[in-house]
Structure 1
Amino acid sequence: MAIKLILADDHPIFREGLIQSITETGEFEIAGVGSSADEAVALAQEHRPDVALLDLSMPGNGITAAKRIVDGQLASHVAMLTVSEDNTDVTAALQAGAIGYVLKGVSADELRRILRGVARGEAHVSPGLAAQVLKIMQTPKEKEKNPIDDLTKREEDILRLVAVGKSNREVADELSLQEKTVKHYMTGILGKLHARNRVEAALIAHKAWNKSP
């Protein structure tokens, strides 16, 4: 079954090329196309896609659209597609609930790979941007009490693998677990770390274990 997407970007020529690049392998179905935040939200509400792929700088603001879509549970997952490498934009997108932050310079093959992962609930932020976000996430509250300390040994083992970019399936294979068991553990890990998604959990882990993302 094809992965259902909606796409919102206010540059027609780029948008047309993007649609062709995404759909040329037959893995993806573009259910709707828009050019503004309001159109993106309306499309998500109508089609309930697997992934909402949103331009950050479109009219109405892509981050605003992401938050509305996530809060309304109108799409399974949200990813931003942007030229911005500004750490405040990355942080705002993650805080809005997006699990993907994709730079527009990626190749078609790489974009499809990322979108396949996002559709499975796997987060994507380039390592360079993740390092910037990590600095912003460091707060006095986190320094007083490290939520990593609340993890069980099994949860820590899983998080260490997630923090180096392993998918749920790869974690399951490495630890001889079922994929659904890993998903269950990840739900508990996100709750203990007060993380919205896998990206935030991985960043918290890198900070706690003094690793560079």
Structure 2
Amino acid sequence: MNILLAEDDLQLGELIGFMLKKKGGCKVDWVMEGEDAYDYAKASHYEVLILDWMMPNGDGISVCRKLRSEGYAGAILMLTAKDAVEDRINGLDAGADDYLIKSFEIDELLARLRALTRRNYAPILEDQISIQGLAINRTSQTVSQEKEEIQFSPREFQLLDLLVQNKGQVLPREVILDRIWGFDAEVSTKTIDATIKLIRKKLGRFGKQDLLQSIRGVGYKVES
């Protein structure tokens, strides 16, 4: 289960992330601010978002409401110390699918996550997508134009696919690094730049080396 955890309490965030991985076998991305939660949710595919109500730079309610207003269809669970009925109603009205009050047992959290994923919120990615005359095949990890086909390495293809999925949006290097290599990976953002260079070189065979745009000081994007 792929989870985004947005929790600004350092000790609680570490504990929840650790237990979700240990007891639930989950893959967990952990952020501590609302803006990061929004960026990660838009940039990646998660089966469930766990949003803390109170966070700096955008509380969980605001993030939830903004995502829903933009058509986000994934499952969202609100995590909060607020236990008044009115607060629960506000959370659900903002678009949350479930609501868990602190303090809680990790087994209950896991049970709620399993229930949410059974509802099949996760969007299904098409096996093949097209952009600027290119056909991108997720099964074969190839890019083709008419009858010519280029094979990409798994890492190259994951990066290209991530940017295409989020076409029109700038993905910061930190987000790309976490989604493709993992938060704990011992690689630097220079690795991203090197991989982008290799992708562009291959796309150059189709005259599409400018498909991936560099945003100075931030990251990369594919124009929609």
> What TM-score, normalized to structure 1?
0.52
| Equivalent position of 1:110 in the other structure | 108
Give the drift of 1:88: 2.2
Which structure has greater strand proportion?
Answer: 2
Q: Alignment partner of 2:23: what SS?
A: coil
Unaligned stretches of 5+ in structure 1? Answer: 123-213
Distance 2:104 2:95 in 1: 22
Q: Please say if residues 32 and 55 of structure 2, whose CA atoms lie closer than 8 Å, have aligned partners that are also in contact.
A: yes
1:91 pairs with 2:89 = yes
1:126-145 correspondence to structure 2 within 5 Å? none
Identity of aligned residues (%): 27
Instruction: Compute the RMSD of aligned alpha carbons.
Output: 1.7
| Paired residue type of 2:12 | F
| Equivalent position of 2:33 in the other structure | 36
Give the drift of 1:74: 3.9
> What TM-score, normalized to structure 2?
0.50
Unaligned stretches of 5+ in structure 2? Answer: 121-224
| Equivalent position of 2:77 in the other structure | 79
Q: Alignment partner of 1:24: what SS?
A: helix
Q: Please say if residues 48 and 75 of structure 1, whose CA atoms lie closer than 8 Å, have aligned partners that are also in contact.
A: no
1:47 pairs with 2:44 = yes
CA distance 1:55–1:12, shift in 2 (3 Å): same
| Equivalent position of 1:58 in the other structure | 55
Give the drift of 1:26: 4.7
Give the drift of 1:104: 1.9
Which structure has greater helix proportion?
Answer: 1
| Equivalent position of 1:16 in the other structure | 14
Task: State the 4+ residue runs in structure 1 displaced beyond 3 angstroms.
Answer: none
Q: Alignment partner of 1:41: what SS?
A: helix
Q: Alignment partner of 2:4: what SS?
A: strand
Q: Deviations over 1:127-181 (max 9, x none)?
A: xxxxxxxxxxxxxxxxxxxxxxxxxxxxxxxxxxxxxxxxxxxxxxxxxxxxxxx
| Paired residue type of 1:35 | M
Distance 2:27 2:63 in 1: 21
Q: Deviations over 1:51-76 (max 9, x none)?
A: 11000011221101111222334451
Distance 1:107 1:81 in 2: 12
Q: Please say if residues 49 and 75 of structure 1, whose CA atoms lie closer than 8 Å, have aligned partners that are also in contact.
A: no
Q: Please say if residues 24 and 110 of structure 2, whose CA atoms lie closer than 8 Å, have aligned partners that are also in contact.
A: no
1:116-127 correspondence to structure 2 within 5 Å? 116-121=114-119
Distance 1:53 1:117 in 2: 14
